[in-house]
Amino acid sequence: MISLLIPCYNEQEVLLLTYETVVAAAPRWGEPVEIVLVDDGSSDATWEIIQSLCRRDPRVRGVRLARNFGHQAAVGAGLDHVSGDAVIVLDADLQDPPSLIDEMLAKWRQGHDVVYAQRTGRRGESLFKKITGHLFYRLLDRVNEVPIPRDTGDFALMDARVVALLRQFREHGPFWRGLRCWTGAKQTAVKFERPARAGGQTKYTFRKMARLAADGLLSFSSLPLRMPLYLGAALMVISILATAVCFGWWLLAPGASISAVAPWLLVLYLASAQFFCLGVMGEYIHRIYAEVRDRPRWVVRSTIGFTDEAQSSAESRKAA
Ligand code: UDP
Ligand code: MG
């Protein structure tokens, strides 16, 4: 079975059209389909539409969140409710064209665990969004510890095994497009030009975009916490160089007084020591953060050479 997971927040203008587009494409996929619609605390008729679709079509299921928890939370809630062998996450506004799903399924059947859609361009989005999006993915690429392909959103197909792994991530502010890569799943891309919204307005306010960017950057990079350490080290080098210059100057001109520069040197040394201490604390905080997020520590893709006995005892240990 194939599960489509669609987070919806105030999508009354487009939801029906999206449903019809998906249902029209579904017979091509050659497998039963379930459509899981997650209502992220909509204040319009979205839930009523989901209810009526459920009554009309047994393939549709609805999950209603108690309030607006945000797009990533809605995807997380949906992941807990899907049961397909392949799960495809897509937006409710047809900006993630269901026509791409054919190609995704073909690549999945060839053996890829994750097939993500990569935008080659965006239509109908503000210049501000295009520029910030462009910069964000490049910055993320520079600082993150897990390579996350550029210009990809949550629109992707994931094998049930990847979904089972993602369900183990109980962290707050999940950044699914990054966690998906974190699992080390065998990935490939399909490219597409992102069309404009089929109706309605974007539900991503500036605040929500900033929140998502912060979640992405902070949960995949320790750089902000390590910054003071680097700064402290740089200042220490500067302090030592400045001391050497002053000393040389004093040697060349023995009469020169160093009392004018000594306080400045002291300030430099103290500043570097302070940054260093902050950096050391950052290092501890980073470790505490890693512990409280409690991600799986590693993922084994396969093992070889174990006798059945050893393997089953390892499995029973894991179950215990
Ligand atoms: N969405 C959501 N909760 C939110 C904001 C958005 O579930 O708080 C959903 C929205 O209904 C859509 C998807 O997330 O299906 C992407 O949102 P949108 O199209 O507004 O973002 P954009 O494409 O403009 O980045
Ligand atoms: Mg959209």
Mean pLDDT of 133-146: 88
Q: Which two tokens stand for residue 152?
A: 């990809």
Terminal Cα distance for the chain, rounded: 30
Q: CA 101, CA 157: separation in Å to the nearest integer?
A: 8
Residue nearest ligand 1's atom 17 by CA = 203
- The Å distance, Cα 158 to ligand 2 centre, comes to 20
pLDDT value, residue 125 = 84
Q: Report the amino acid identity of residue 210.
A: A
The answer to whether 170 touches 79, Cβ cutoff 8 Å, is no
Question: Ligand 1 test: best mutation among 4, 203, 206, most atoms within 8 Å of CB?
Answer: 203
What mean pLDDT is reported for the chain?
93
Q: Where are the beta strands (DSSP E) in the chain?
A: 2-8, 33-39, 60-64, 86-89, 114-122, 152-159, 187-194
Q: How many percent of the chain have pLDDT more than 90?
A: 81
Query: 258 pLDDT band (50/70/90 cuts)?
Result: confident
Q: CA 232, CA 229: separation in Å to the nearest integer?
A: 5
User: From the centroid of its chain, how far is CA 318?
Assistant: 28
Mean pLDDT of 123-142: 88
pLDDT value, residue 207 = 94
123 or 282, greater pLDDT: 282
Question: Ligand 1 test: best mutation among 91, 119, 136, most atoms within 8 Å of CB?
Answer: 91
pLDDT value, residue 214 = 94
Please identify, by atom number, the ligand 1 atom nearest to the C-alpha of residue 74.
7
Q: CA 222, CA 282: separation in Å to the nearest integer?
A: 9
Of 134, 139, 144, 203, nearest to 179 by C-alpha is 144
Instruction: Write down the pTM of the prediction.
Output: 0.89
